[in-house]
Structures are given as C-alpha cells and as structure tokens.
Structure 1
C-alpha cells in the first residue's frame, strides 16, 4: 500500500528501559547456559529487567512523557493513544487507558494493539490513518513490554532472549512528501502455535493445573520462528519499498526488530545494505518485542544517525505470526531527544 495525501510522520520520540541489567554471566547462575553460547547464537550480551511491582503501563508512560517533551506537545493535545504490547498490565482495562491516566491525556481515546513484536509498526500504520482522514491531529504510538514477567526462567531456550523496555512516538502532520510513504502488513495464523502463552485466555482459563504445568509462560518453537523471520523480514521490507516507489538503493537507514543478530544480518543482506546502515542494539537490550524498534529509533537519533530527507525502513515480525514494514522519509524539527 502506498500512502498518499497529507504527510504523516514522527514528530517526537522517547524511550525508557529499567535500570536493572541482567547479563549473560548472571544467567549462567540461573540456567544451564553460557555467555559464549548466547552471544554466538543471538548477539545478546545483556538485557534490562523491571523491578517487582513495575508494570508495562509504567514503562509506557515514562517513554510517552519523553516523546511528548521531544515533540513539544502537551498531553492535552493528544487525540489517541495506541499501545502495542504482548504483556498488558491485565486483560482489561487496556494498558493504553492506564497510560492515558498516568500522563493526564484526558482528551485522548485509547486502545491496545496485539501483533506481537510487529506491534509498533502495526500501531504506526493504524495511527497514521486517523491523521490522514483528518479525524485526529496528534497520536501517541507506544511499544512497551515487561517480558521478564512472562518468561519461564527454567527454560534456557527462551529466558535468555528477552528484555523489558518501552519506546514511544508522537505522530503528526509533516510537510508533503515526508513521513510514511509505504507499508506492508501481513499475518500467517497457521504459525500461531510457534510463539504463544497457552493459558490465561478463554481457550484455557487459569486453573491450579495450568499454573502447575507452567502454561502461563511464553513458549516458542525457536527453529520455526527463526526460519519464518529470515524469510519474511527481507520480503516485507522490499514490498514496502516497492509500495513507496523506492528500492533498497534508496535506503539510508534500516531499523529492524531486535530479535537476533543473524536475522538482522539476513534482512540487511536481502536489501543489499551494509551493516553500517543498520541500527543494531540487540546486544544491550535483547528482544523487547514491540518496544524494540522505537527504542532503536531513539538511540539512532541520539547518536545522530538520522537526518532529514533520509529514507528509513522499519521492519518487524512477531507472534501471530505477523510481519510489518514501514518506509518513512524522515522529517523532524531539530529538538533535543531524551
């Protein structure tokens, strides 16, 4: 899909990660693993973990406040809050409603979006449509996760991969020709079994038996997810570029979902991009699911790796199975990113 009419882009960015870090060396005392094993297979060296009692809405609110400050926008100006998350505070109310109250955005509508690690890109595309139609002017899109709370710390194949964090952007109108140029969204529900939390929903409500069987923790078929990701990341990015009327030769910066360094390298190879054009921080944060792209975006801005007129590609994959790509011609007023 090619995006036309008015320009809709990112006018403010913010992120937040918990202070506590959990290194690979720390994990060696928890499960049978090693720093060498984790780094060689994933590229991850450490991840950030929430303190007891800290929830997804807390991280989301911190990131949202930083994005608002960066945009020079007050909470009263926000028309809609979209929170992409796989780890909501609770089944209902939505985490977005809790964030709305925390940041005092009393005029904003609010809802959660569930698309796994693709959630932030799904949220960008969803939010942009409200601005394209003229219904809303400014929208907060937040990717936030506390994945440490749903990990089975006895399962060395999954507990080493994930971390906690949040990233937020403010969407608004930008000059014509800038902002979101093209997108690609997709899903393959036949792969839903590959990445899931089996219990806690209507299919398998919580019981003492489901708890004792550890069915409320994340389960993943790693090989199946890896094969899917390697295939779909490059394909989706190419489709979004095609829909923008651009090619990989036009790309100045690729910001992929930070799940695994080998998957990231595969996507770069498919786009024929040198790794110098790829934002990578999986080593510091692990897989933060829907938060990974906005956290990486914020770091890219802090490190002066993005400038106006750059063509930026976001691409992710996640539970569902889902995938999402978004091509943006970058335009943002020069303000301090926090």
Structure 2
C-alpha cells in the first residue's frame, strides 16, 4: 500500500559567514548582547549575485538527489518565501525553469516564517488530485531587506533554503497531520511596509526606509507565548498523540531564548529540540526544512519516531505538522 511520504530532504546555505561582530557595530550592540538576547552566534548571507530562487534551486537539487528522482518526475513545485526574486512572476517559476521540471506546476506561498508548513499542506492537496511527486521549498533572503542600524531585526536573520520531496511510497517518513492558523488582527507586528499596492516604493517611501523589514519584538513574543503553546497542545490532543510520544521537536528557528521558553511550556519529556539558529540564525520559511535536513543527515531521526514541526511568524500565522519518521 502506497502513501505520500517524505522521500528526501536538502538544504543550501550561502558561503558567506557573517559574525555577530559584523552586524553588531552598525546596530549599536555587541556580540555578548546578541548572544544574550537571541543565542545566535553567526548567520549566512547571500552573495551579491544570488537571489532567493538560486538558494531555492540549490536546496531543491539536493532534495531531489536525496530522494533519488529527477526534476522531470515532479508534478508540482511549491516555494514558501516572503522575499521573492520579484513581485512577479512567482519565484517558483524560476526554480522550475532552472531545474528543468517541465511537467511541474509551480507557485509560491507566503505565510512568512510559517510558510514551509503551509506549503506542505498545499502540495499534499495537489498530489491528492494530480498524483506524482512534489518539491516543497522554504527559501528566504532577508539580508536584502534588513536595516543595518535596527538592532531589533538585523541581528536575527540569515539567508538560506531547505527542501523536501513528497511522493508515493510504501515506507518512509509520512506527514500524519497538519494544522494551519492565521491571526490577521496581529498583522502589523511583522511587515515590510513598502513595495506593494498600498505603498509603492517611490522616492519618499525609500527615504523613509519603508523598504525594510520591521518587527515589534515584544508584540511577537507576547503572541508566541499567548497562542503557540496552546495551538500545539490542542493539535496533539486532536491527533491522539500524548506529549510523551514526541521524540523530536523542530520549531521555527526564531530566537533561542524564545525557543527555550516554548519548549519548557510544551513539556515534551522525551523529545529532543533541534536547533540550527546558533550558526544560521533565523532563515524565515527555510528554518524548519534546513533544521530537518540537518537532523536527517546526522542520523538522529529513527524509523517510527514522531517528529513535531512548529512554525510561527508574520501574518500572524502558525503551522504545526506531525511527521512519523
């Protein structure tokens, strides 16, 4: 009996390593401040000639290789990103062309840092109707939209991409359940004000810095504390899974201090929380697939173990997925 499974994972991180010292000086902070507030020690930033689609394509190739299939076998490519190459066309179209996935429909999903879980749900829906294989990529390139003097944001983010291939198989990791949530009343907590139809980027908007990513850090922390633990607990209850059954917890790599508090609140006594933020920082929609790929390559995920993915970010949005490895 076949089912849709995760056939392979992959990731791509740019070569350039950016230390805390490099981002600290323009923001008026230092290495100790960044570590104390975030537990981040470094991040990767893309080269000048790299765009989001380049990162996504590289991660997609790695996932296809791990899955043992070709791009020609793909039915759909879904790219989760909030930092597209251009407002139009979708970044996924560039990825499809670069990979040569001639039979794949390709589109983007923007749920900011929750994007990978939303994209997994979308890809599952396409496969249920169309069959075949899906390439689901989370990719973000935040270094281009960060204000170097804003300590609330510039110290937090890195660039990267992570990918999963979904397809029919009789064994292997499968997504047992998914849950998606959006809280539009909090949409102002995280945003890039300019560049859309509401505020085009004219000279006045650029002079005001409207092209930069902005975040109400305290508001985001309150949102996560007030909503995310309860959402996850309710998700597990409805899935019929006890907290003791979870062996691996892979959250969005937002902030190390925040993740420590979240993990404590969830009380998953037998779970290992996987983290990549120390070396890669917050890579947006890429953070969960990058961290999942890292755990897979290290061999820490064993067949039959339950892996809990938990994403949260701008929108505000949250996505939770349960994977039986």
- Normalising by the smaller structure, the TM-score range is over 0.9
SS of the equivalent of 2:319 reads strand
Q: Check whether the contact 1:237–1:326 (CA below 8 A) recurs between aligned residues.
A: no
Kindly state the Cα deviation for residue 281 of structure 1 after the two structures are TM-superposed: 1.2
1:184 alignment counterpart: 179
1:75 to 61, 71, 75: 71
Report deviation, 1:264: 1.4
Q: Find the counterpart in structure 1 of residue 313 from structure 2.
A: 318
Find the aligned partners of 2:266 and 2:198 in 1 and give their Cα distance.
40
Match of 1:17 in 2: 13
Q: CA deviation at 1:304?
A: 1.3
Distance 1:71 1:177 in 2: 11
The secondary structure found in structure 2 opposite 1:231 is helix
Aligned mates of 1:126, 1:326 — CA distance in 2: 13
Post-superposition offset of 1:178: 5.8
**Which SS does the other structure have where 1:143 is aligned?**
strand
Aligned pairs for 1:70-149 within 5 A: 70-131=66-127, 133-149=128-144
Deviates more, 1:159-168 or 1:148-157: 148-157
2:250 is the alignment partner of 1:228: no
Inter-partner Cα distance in structure 1 for 2:2 and 2:213? 41
SS in 1 for 2:34: helix
| Structure 2 partner of 1:39 | 35
* Per-residue CA distance 1:154-180 (angstroms, 9 max, x = gap): 212110010000000001124389611
Alignment counterpart, residue 256 of structure 2, candidates 258, 261, 270: 261
Alignment RMSD = 1.6
After superposition, give the CA deviation of every residue in 1:8-40 in whole Å (9 maximum; x if it has no partner). Answer: 221110000001011112223332111111111
Shift in Å at residue 307 of structure 1?
1.2
Q: Which runs of 4+ in 1 moved over 3 A?
A: 174-178
Query: Contact 1:64/1:142 (CA < 8 Å) preserved in 2?
Result: yes
Determine which of 276, 283, 289 is the counterpart of 2:284.
289
* Number of the residue aligned with 1:278: 273
Q: Is the 8 A contact 1:195 1:319 kept in 2?
A: yes
State the number of aligned residues.
325
Distance 2:266 2:152 in 1: 29
- How far apart are the structure 1 equivalents of 2:27 and 2:65? 41
Partner residue of 1:197 out of 192, 198, 214 = 192
Q: Deviations over 1:54-75 (max 9, x none)?
A: 1000000000000000000100
State the SS of the aligned residue for 2:229: helix
Q: Quick check: 1:7–1:180 contact (8 Å CA) kept in 2?
A: no
Does 2:236 match 1:244? no
Question: In 2, are the aligned partners of 1:143 and 1:291 still within 8 Å (CA)?
Answer: yes
| 1:274 Cα deviation from its structure 2 partner | 5.0
SS of equivalent to 2:106: strand
Q: Which segments of 5 or more consecutive residues in structure 2 lack a partner in the other structure?
A: none
In the alignment, which of 154, 157, 161 is matched to residue 156 of structure 2? 161
CA offset digits 1:228-259 (Å, max 9, x no partner): 12333322222332232112111010000000
2:62 match: 66
TM-score normalized by the length of structure 2 = 0.96
Gaps of 5+ in 1: 331-338
